[in-house]
Amino acid sequence: MLFNSYSFVVFLFVTLFVYYLPFARRFQLLSLILASFYFYAFLKPILLVLLITSILFNTSVSWVLERNSPKRWVTLGVVFNLLLLCFFKYASLIVKTFVDESSSGGLSSFIVSIPLPIGISFYTFEGISLLVDSYRGKTSSTKVTGNTFVEHLIETTHFVSFFPHLIAGPILKAHDFYPQIKTKYLKDIDWNSAFKNVVIGFFLKMVVADNLKEYTGYMSYPYFENLSSPTLIILMLGYSCQIFADFAGYSLIAIGIAKLFGYDLPTNFNYPYISQSFSEFWQRWHISLSTWLKEYLYIPLGGNRKGNNRTYLNLFLVMLLGGLWHGAGWNYAVWGMIHGVALGLERLLIATNESSIKWIKYLRRGAVFMIVTVAWLFFKLPNFTQALLYIKKMGTNWHLPFIPGIREVYVLIFCMAVALYHLYYLWKGERKFPKLEMILLAIMLFFIMTNSGFQGDFIYFQF
């Protein structure tokens, strides 16, 4: 079910109404769980089987871990989650890479044809978080000593399936979410924050991202081969703004909706395109993923505690795996490697602390933004060679005539919306302008109602 659909609006109001019924207050978690299952199974009910299997397994193992903490159980649990993710997400990549499908019979064809269950990358990482946190003892403080397995099952099901974050995050950590599980009251809703997040989120998705996608479609192979270099650069900038607006929009909507139910989800985007370094970029972009990778992968690998060479290797491995987390394709691995190498070189050669000299700040921001933007080509174009060809054509198609048309003008207009979004943050700093913000929200609402693009999936649904 899409956030930007009329069916979701009806679903949301019905769920909120039932959730806050005074006589049904003791059943709040159960009502949310049922609503979340309905939300997830809306288009493909069969996917619910895999979600419930994951929940039951992680509930059982975490229950054991909180009481006995044997290391073999956490190892077993993490391996199971990774195998589940690898089978549904990476088996087809392995078959395509190492197996001759024409001579291997029907098994390889079957594996290649297995669809990717929506949201599996997100709820698998949340399952791992639960197991590791249970082993470390972080979640034990959130439990009453006499908790039953049924209570733990209900809480864990709610943690994993809570519908605002279920399909595309933010990725939740058990030790952050479990303390919030308690009875919620209508009077405690932070309406202002919920409204602000939802409006900005829908504006970024429906007005910016959905309109940009109509024009960035021209980046597909072989259409881009005959476009001029300036047009190719403009379209590339358009996709960079589209993927930000699409994913940041989803995250803001999810955070706003969660607040309506009394839950605080972690901030997932913090104006990433103002970053002066790649390390800062990953403190601002998809924060829930970058912090998950740091806490559950980078630090356990040794982080920066085992010498410079090991630090560079850890950075590279974490970003490579972070790239593959996004999709079963070598283009995603290359994207991860680009960021891994950039982080390593930055650490080796350049001081990453913020500079007080303005022109250096602007130079750093421009360089980081352009490298990040070029790297997004490996997201947009599914074939590695196509992405390289696009980069080549940006440098060689200057001989083709450049006649700015509606396509280029509209792309730049919607890119300007993303630029203004970041510039406003830089301008206001710590200051607050409540009246100005209400005016801006009203303008966004107007554009949502009058200039929304064609309804489409969120880009991160495919991951």
Catalytic positions are 326
Q: Over the Cα atoms of the chain, what is R_g?
A: 23
Please give the structure tokens belonging to residue 224: 């881009």
| Contact status, residue 339 vs residue 278, Cβ threshold 8 Å | yes
Cα first-last separation, the chain:
16
CA distance 200 to 228: 34
Burial letters 67-102, b for 16+ CB under 10 A, else e = eeeeeebbeebbebbeebbeebbbbbbebeeeeeee
Q: Which of 286, 279, 38, 284 is nearest to 161 (CA)?
A: 38
C-alpha 282: how far from its chain's center? 12
CA distance 297 to 132: 11
CA distance 415 to 217: 15
Please give the structure tokens belonging to residue 5: 């659909």
Helical pair 28-40 and 47-65, crossing angle rounded to 10 deg: 140
